[in-house]
Structure 1
Amino acid sequence: MLITKDMGILEIVQKYPQTVDVFRGAGMGCLGCAAARFENVEQGASAHGIDVDALIDALNKAVAAE
């Protein structure tokens, strides 16, 4: 299953722990914060000024590499 921008951040991290480094590397180090439980990837990336398409691409590459 591919990661999409409408998936929840916490959902992704729980299913694919290898994505934690990708989120942190993109500047989203607050994976344990309250917002991460409710935000989807697009919302989180937007809040941090991150290119959501590049982030999704990196997340999917991390998952595929496993």
Structure 2
Amino acid sequence: MPIGDVVNKYPQTIEVFMKHGLHCIGCAAAAFENIEQGANAHDIDLDKLIEDLNKAVKKKK
């Protein structure tokens, strides 16, 4: 799922992406780049990012 779709469906994840240094929420790449691709492009720990994203999504429910 592209990062842009994640953010649209789960707006509470924006803060998590920003905290991890993935600031491309509004850039063109967010429309087609998935979380793994974004994390790799920005040298971000994918496992920690996914863990924090899952916490944010579950907390909101």
TM bracket (short chain): over 0.9
Q: Report the TM-score, using the length of structure 1 for normalisation.
A: 0.87
- Matched with 1:26 is 20
**Partner amino acid for 2:56?**
A
Higher-helix-fraction structure: 2
Runs of 4+ in 1 over 2 A off after TM superposition: none
After superposition, what is the alpha-carbon deviation per residue over 1:15-51, rounded to whole angstroms, capped at 9, x for unaligned?
A: 0000000000000112110111110000000000001
Percent identical pairs in the alignment equals 60
For the aligned residue pairs, the C-alpha RMSD in angstroms reads 0.7
Q: Which amino acid aligns with 1:50?
A: I
- Structure 1 gap segments, 5+ residues each: 1-6
Report the number of matched residues: 60
What is the match of residue 54 of structure 1?
Answer: 48
> What TM-score do the two structures reach when normalised by structure 2?
0.93
